[in-house]
Structures are given as C-alpha cells and as structure tokens.
Amino acid sequence: MTIVENDSAATDSAEAAAKDTEVANRAAEPRDALFTRIRLAPGTFARRVEGWPRRRKTLVLTPLALVTIGLIAAVTVLGVRIHDNDDVQAAKGAALAAAVTNVPKILSYRADSADNDLESAANLLTGDFKNRFQTLVKDTIIPAAKQHQTVTNATVAAKSVVDGTSDAVTVLLFIDQSTTSKDAPAPRLDASRVRIHMDRIGDRWLISGLEPV
C-alpha cells in the first residue's frame, strides 16, 4: 500500500472516529439534560412560583398544602392506632395471665386455713365484687367449710380472651375443681366455665367480676 493510500485510510479512520464521537455526544446530551433538569427541578419550580400572580399561587399551592397536611394527619393517626393496638394486645396478655394465676386462688381453700386462704384471695379482687365475695366468704363459705371439713382445689384447664381494652379485659376460663369433705372423702370432680372480668388498678390486674356460663 502506498503512502497516499495510507494517508487516505488514516483520514477515513479519523473521520469515522469523529462521527462516532459526535453520535455518542448527541446520545448523551438528552440524558445529561434530563439529569440536570431533575437536579434543578425544585429550584426551577420555586423560581417559577415566585413569578406567578397571587391568585395562581393560591389556586395551586393551597390544594398542595391541604394534601400534605392530610397525609401527615393520616400517618399520625395510623401511628397512634398501631401504638394503641400494641397496648391493647399487651393488656390482654397480662390480664389473661393474672386471671389464670388468681382465679384458682379464690376457688381453692382448706377447712383448717379457710380464713387466711380466702382473706388473701380477697386482695386479688376489686370493686363491688370484692365486697360481695368477702360477705359470702364470711357468712357462708367459711362456716360450711369448717363444719364439713371441706378441701377444694381449682385448676385452669383452658383459657381465652373474649375482648378488652388497655384498662379492662374479659376472659373465659375452663375450671376443673376437686372437692373432698368428711362426709365425702372420695374426691368429687367438677368442671365449669366462667367469664372473668379483669380491671387494671395501678400496675395490677384485679378480678372485678366472675360469672358462670
């Protein structure tokens, strides 16, 4: 190949390279311009708004502000509801655990220690239910237990939460109760289902009601 031919080939190669560079630059321009617009969009919008008439600013910006306030309110309400729901779920768990522990204590006693057993059990109660329980214990249960030498023991066979709030919960317990006395020394087994109302008093869950169902 001659020098002229070499020069011609080199020229063609250079022209082709220049065209490729030009095409690449043109292809990159829209992308670069797009990135530039994205970066400058907030400032550009602000400058445009500054030049708007007051009426147009009111018509455009007021709905945007209302939408923003609405979104903030919705997020706040959702957060409060989630927090409240967590509190209620925790309350239900704590109330159910207290009921499972304490209900057997108010249903179990021995003739020789019934006074102390049931007096201690009364401290697990609250409200009018506590008053009625103490009256029943004093007037009926303790005299009968001592007369018949009764021994009764209650256990929880099953449990569930019916409903509740962060301060009051209703639970359902299935109770197995074994009873003996001097007249019936063989254990008598009874099963019952009771609805228990639990109230939060300070940092404790106390029994405010007991209903056979």
pLDDT digits (tens, 9 = 90+) for 36-55: 554 545 555 555 656 556 66
Helices (H), 2-53: 3-50
Structure tokens of 110?
């021995």
Indicate if the pLDDT at residue 16 is higher than 80.
no
Q: What does the block give as tokens for 57?
A: 């600013």
pLDDT for position 142 = 93
Lookup: tokens for 18: 């220049």
pLDDT beyond 70 at 6: no
Helix, strand, coil share of the chain (percent; to 5): 65, 25, 10
Nearest to 164 by CA among 83, 79, 93, 101: 93
Q: Which residue has the higher pLDDT, 207 or 14?
A: 207
Higher pLDDT, 107 or 70: 107
Lowest mean pLDDT among 43-47, 69-73, 122-126, 173-177: 43-47
Contact indicator for 151, 179 with CB cutoff of 8 Å = yes
pLDDT score at 7: 41
Contacts 24+ apart (CB under 8 A), 71-75: none
Q: How far apart are CA 38 and CA 115, in angstroms?
A: 81
Distance CA 212, CA 192 (A): 7
pLDDT at 29 over 70: no
Mean pLDDT of the region 81-103 = 87
Question: 65 or 187, which is more confident?
Answer: 187
Return d(Cα 172, Cα 157) in angstroms, integer.
11
pLDDT in tens, 168-202: 999 999 999 999 999 999 999 999 999 999 999 99
Q: What is residue 45's predicted lDDT score, i.e. its pLDDT?
A: 53
Residue 22, CA distances (Å) to 9, 10, 11, 26, 29 in order: 20, 18, 16, 6, 11
- Specify the pLDDT at position 102: 97
Q: Average pLDDT in the 111-122 region?
A: 92
Burial of 80 (0-12, 13-18, 19+ CB in 10 A): exposed
| Residue 139, pLDDT score | 94
**Over residues 146-173, mean pLDDT:** 95
| % of the chain exceeding 70 in pLDDT | 62
- Bridge-based pairing state of the strands 188-201 and 204-212: antiparallel
Query: What pLDDT band is residue 3 in, cutting at 50, 70 and 90?
Result: very low
Cβ count within 10 A of residue 169: 25
